[in-house]
Structure 1
Amino acid sequence: MPQFTILNDRRFWLFFAFALTLAGFPRGYLVDWLNQAGSYANDLHPGGADFLNFWVASLKSLHGEARDLYDPHLYAQALIDQFGDDFDRRWLYPPHFLFFILPLGLLPYWTAFALFMGGSLFVLLIVAAKIWGGRGIVFWLLIAPFTVLAFIFGQTTFLIGALFIGALFWRDERPILAGVFLGILTIKPQFGVFFPLLLLLERRFLVIAVASATATSLIAASVAAFGLEAWRGFILHLSGPQGDMLRASASNFLSLQLTPYGAARLFGADMETAGLIQAGTAVFAALALVSVVRSKAERDTKDMMFVATTYLATPYILGYDLAAPTFAAIWLYLGHSREKAPGFAFSVLLVLVAALSFVNGLTFAAGFSAGPVLFLALAAALLLRAKLENDACRAQTCIRVPTAMDQSEKRGGKGPSLPPTKTEVAVR
C-alpha cells in the first residue's frame, strides 16, 4: 500500500490557500469585521456597507415610493431618515431587482440581513451541489474568500453566483431552467455581457427564448408594480450615480475593482485611457471566447473560458463578485469529471483565481490589481489547453458523446425529445 502524504493531496493545498485567506484577509478585514461594533454602512461592521441599500429600498417600495430610489437627493434623505446619515450611498439597481428584496422591509434590520444572506447562500449551495453532482463542493464554497467578503459587505454575491453558474452549466441539460436563471440575472446585467454570444455560437435558441421571456416578464411586472417612472429614473440616472461608480478614484474603492478599467485607474490612468484599455481587453476576450467555443475543446474548458472572458470584458466587478470564478476554478483544479487533474502551473493559477480577493488585497499594497492579470493569464492558459484538446480530437483520439443540442439540430431545432445527455469529451 502506498504511503499517504498530505502534501501530495490537492485538497490540502486548496484548504491551505483558503485558510491563509481567512487568517490574513486583505488589510485585516476579517479580524476587524468580527471585532467591530459601530455604525451601519461600515465595511468593517457586521451588516455590511451595502445591505442597508436593500433594506431601505424595500421600505420605500412597500410605501409606493420606488421611483424616489433613483433620485439621488430623495434617496439620500431616506437614508438620513433611517440612519441619521446617507453614508454616500446611492441606489444603482434596475426596478425588477426590487422583487427579490421586497419582503426585507417588513422585518427588523438584523433579521432581514440574516434572512437575505443566509437564504441566498442556501440557494447558491443547492445550485452548486446539483451541478457538481454531490455535496463535495459545499465545504469549499463555505470557506471560500468570496463568502467572507459577501457577508462583510452584505451583498448579492450568492444570488448572482447561483444565477450565473446555473445559466452556464445547465444550458445543455436544463435549457428552460438555464433560461429562467439568465433572465433573472438581468438584475445585474453586467454579468450577462457574453451570454448572448455564447448561446448564439452554440445555437441554444430555447435558452435565448426563455431568457428573453423571463426578463421581459420581470420588466413588465415591475412597471405594473412600481410604475413607469421607476424605469424612467433608472435609465435617466445611468450616467448619474451609476456612472459615478466608474468615475470614482478613491483608492479604497479601486482596491476592490478586479477589471482592466479599475486596474488602469488604480495605476493612475485617466478615464478615457482606462476605457480604451477595457475596450481592447473586451475585444480580446470576445475573440478568445469565440475561438474556444468553436473548437473541439472539452466542456469544462469552454465553461471556464466563458467565466474568465466575462470577467475580463465587464468594466465593473468587485472583490465579492467571485462566486462563479471560484466554483469553476475548483471544478478544474480538482479534476472534476476528468481522469487526471491539471498540471502544476495551471493548478497554481486556478488556486490563485479561487483565492483572488486575498491575492488582490496583497497586490493592492504593491500598487496594482491582480484581478485582470490573473484572468488574462487564465484566458491564455485556456487557449493553449483548448488547442491541445482540439488537436487531440482532430487526430481521432477523442470520443464525443452526442448532446441534447445535437439531437435538437437533427429535428430542426424543435428541442430534445429524449432526456438530454451531458456533453463529455474524453481525451485518452
Structure 2
Amino acid sequence: MATLRDAEWLNGTRARVYPRLLLAASVGLALIWIVAARGGIDLAGKPLGTDFLSFFAASELTLQGRAADAYDVAAHWAAQKALFGPAVGYSAFFYPPPYLIVCLPLALAPYFVSLIVWLAATGYAYWRALRACAGPRLDAAVLLAFPAFLVNAGHGQNGFLSAALIGAGALWLERRPIVAGLMFGALVYKPQLALMIPIALIASRRWTTFAAAAVSAAALCAASYLTWGEAVWRGFLDASPLARAALERHLVGDEKMQSVFAAVRLLHGPLALAYCAQGATALAAAAALIWLQRRDFRGSSEGPALVAATLLASPFLLDYDLTLLAFPLVYLAREGLERGFAPYEKSVLVLAYLLPLASRILAGGLDLPIAAPTIAATLYFVARRRPAGPAPAAPLIASAES
C-alpha cells in the first residue's frame, strides 16, 4: 500500500527513461505494422488508417455531388470497396453534416497521402495545445509516448482534432473567451464530447464563451445545410438509429468503448442499467464541475476538470478519444511537481497514462473495464487540488531525481 500511496519509485530519472523506451517500442511496432502491410491492407485485414477510410469515402461522395450518400450504408460501403477491394469491412459514418466540411478536401489527394496529411495536421494542432498547457519546457518524449497518440494514429481517427479543440478552448477560457467559444462550438461535429461544455460555462458564468460557442455551432450547421441542402440532414437523421444500434448491440465492441455504459454491458448488465449508470455518472461529473466553481471560481483546475468530466459523461467513447486525457494528466503532473503530490496521485497518473494501451486489452481479454474508474480518479485529483489561481508554466518532467 505504501508503494501505491507514495510511488517513490517514480523519480525524475525513471520519468524520463520509461517514456522514451515506450516511445521507441511504439514507433518500432508502427513501422513493422506498416512494412508488413500488403497493398495497404494490414495484418488484421484492414486498410492502414482503418477508420480514415470512412472519412475519405465520405469526401469522395461529397466531391461527386452525393453528400447524402455518406449516410447511405450501401453507397458509402461501395465507395470504400472501390478503394480497397470487395473484402474490406465497413467503416461507418455517424457524424453530423458539419463534419463533411472537415472531410471535404480529403479525397483531393490519394488515400495514403491524405492520411499522412490528416494525421500530421491534426496531430500538430494537438501538440500545440498540449505544449501551451504544459509550458515551453514540455518533455516531448513524455507527450509522444502517451499511448493515445499511437491508438489514434493507427485508426486514422479524429481524436487529435477533438482534443485540440477542447484542450485549446479550455486553455483559452480566460484570455480569449471568444476564441474558446468558437473552438467549443466546432465540436458540433462530435456532440457526444460537448455534453459538459454548456454546464461548465454556465457554472463559471462565462456568457461570452457560451454565446460564441452557440454561434459557432449554429454557423457550421447552417453552412452544411446551405451547401448540401435538406437531403444531407435527412440522411443523417435517418441513419442515426444505426449509431444507437452500434452502441447498444455491441456492433463497435464494448471492449473498445471507455464509458460507464460500455463497462456495464461488458459485465453483462442489462441495457436499462447501463443507461442509468451512465446518466448517474454524467450527473456526478456535472455536479463536480459546479462544486469546483463554488470552491475555486474560475481557478486553474477549471479547464482540466472540464476535459476529465467530458470523458466521463459520454456513453459513446472510444479508446482513441483518450487523447483528451493528456490535458488533465499534464495539469496534475505540473501541479504535483510545483506543489507536491497527494497520496496515490502519482499511481493514478501512471495508470491513466497507460490507460489507452491497457484498457482494450484488459476489457477484451479479462472482461475488466478500467477506463471509467481511472478517469473518475483523475477527475477527483484534479478537483481536489487546492485553489492556487492560474498555474504557471512548468516542465512536465522535473530535473531533480525525485
TM bucket normalised to smaller: 0.7 to 0.9
CA drift at 1:15: 5.0
Q: How does 1:2-401 map to 2 (within 5 A)?
A: 9-10=11-12, 12-13=14-15, 15-16=17-18, 19-20=21-22, 23=25, 33-34=33-34, 36-38=36-38, 44=44, 47-85=48-86, 87-134=89-136, 136=138, 138-240=140-242, 242-249=243-250, 253-296=253-296, 299-335=299-335, 339-364=338-363, 365-383=365-383, 385-386=384-385, 389=386
CA drift at 1:372: 0.7
Q: Distance in 2 between matches of 1:39 and 1:264?
A: 39
Is residue 133–residue 331 contact of structure 2 (8 Å, CA) maintained in 1?
A: no
Amino acid aligned to 1:263: A
Q: Deviations over 1:328-349 (max 9, x none)?
A: 202211337x732323511110
CA drift at 1:75: 1.7
CA drift at 1:157: 1.4
Structure 1 stretches of 4+ moved >6 Å: none
Is residue 199–residue 207 contact of structure 1 (8 Å, CA) maintained in 2?
A: yes
Q: Deviations over 1:161-197 (max 9, x none)?
A: 1001011111111111111111112111111110000
Q: Distance in 1 between matches of 2:12 and 2:361?
A: 23
CA drift at 1:382: 4.2
DSSP-derived class of the 2:49 partner: coil
DSSP-derived class of the 1:165 partner: helix
| Structure 1 unaligned blocks of 5 or more | 1-5, 391-397, 401-421
Question: Greater RCO between the two (CA within 8 Å, min separation 6)?
Answer: 2
Is residue 18–residue 144 contact of structure 1 (8 Å, CA) maintained in 2?
A: no
Q: 1:18 to 1:203 in 2, by over 3 A?
A: farther
Q: Distance in 1 between matches of 2:12 and 2:246?
A: 39
CA drift at 1:38: 4.0
The RMSD of aligned alpha carbons is 2.9
CA drift at 1:238: 1.5
Q: Distance in 1 between matches of 2:43 and 2:278?
A: 27
Q: Greater shift after overlay, 146-155 or 304-313? A: 304-313
Q: 1:232 to 1:286 in 2, by over 3 A?
A: same
Q: 1:68 to 1:11 in 2, by over 3 A?
A: farther
CA drift at 1:127: 2.5
Q: 1:208 to 1:347 in 2, by over 3 A?
A: same
Q: 1:200 to 1:298 in 2, by over 3 A?
A: closer
Task: Report what 1:395 is aligned to.
Answer: none
Q: Distance in 1 between matches of 2:328 and 2:379?
A: 13
DSSP-derived class of the 1:316 partner: coil
Q: 1:133 to 1:70 in 2, by over 3 A?
A: same
Q: Deviations over 1:389-410 (max 9, x none)?
A: 36xxxxxxx7x6xxxxxxxxxx
Amino acid aligned to 2:351: L
CA drift at 1:156: 0.6
Task: Report what 1:408 is aligned to.
Answer: none
Q: State the structure with more CA Rg.
A: 1
Amino acid aligned to 1:315: P
CA drift at 1:58: 0.7
Q: Deviations over 1:24-51 (max 9, x none)?
A: 89xx975873453146675856722101
Task: Report what 2:399 is aligned to.
Answer: none
Amino acid aligned to 1:95: P
Q: 1:328 to 1:41 in 2, by over 3 A?
A: farther
Amino acid aligned to 1:353: A
Is residue 123–residue 162 contact of structure 1 (8 Å, CA) maintained in 2?
A: yes
CA drift at 1:223: 1.2
Is residue 21–residue 358 contact of structure 1 (8 Å, CA) maintained in 2?
A: no
Q: Distance in 1 between matches of 2:235 and 2:109?
A: 27
Q: Distance in 2 between matches of 1:284 and 1:43?
A: 42
Is residue 58–residue 104 contact of structure 1 (8 Å, CA) maintained in 2?
A: yes
Q: Distance in 1 between matches of 2:77 and 2:121?
A: 28
Q: Distance in 2 between matches of 1:54 and 1:175?
A: 31
Amino acid aligned to 2:71: Y
Q: Distance in 2 between matches of 1:310 and 1:89?
A: 25
Identity of aligned residues (%): 27
DSSP-derived class of the 2:317 partner: coil
Q: Distance in 2 between matches of 1:247 and 1:29?
A: 33
CA drift at 1:370: 0.9
Q: Greater shift after overlay, 326-335 or 161-170? A: 326-335
Amino acid aligned to 2:146: A
Q: Distance in 1 between matches of 2:23 and 2:391?
A: 35
Q: Distance in 2 between matches of 1:18 and 1:233?
A: 46
DSSP-derived class of the 1:330 partner: helix
Q: 1:98 to 1:256 in 2, by over 3 A?
A: same
CA drift at 1:273: 2.1
Q: Distance in 2 between matches of 1:29 and 1:258?
A: 23
Q: Greater shift after overlay, 344-353 or 9-18? A: 9-18
Q: Distance in 2 between matches of 1:43 and 1:304?
A: 38
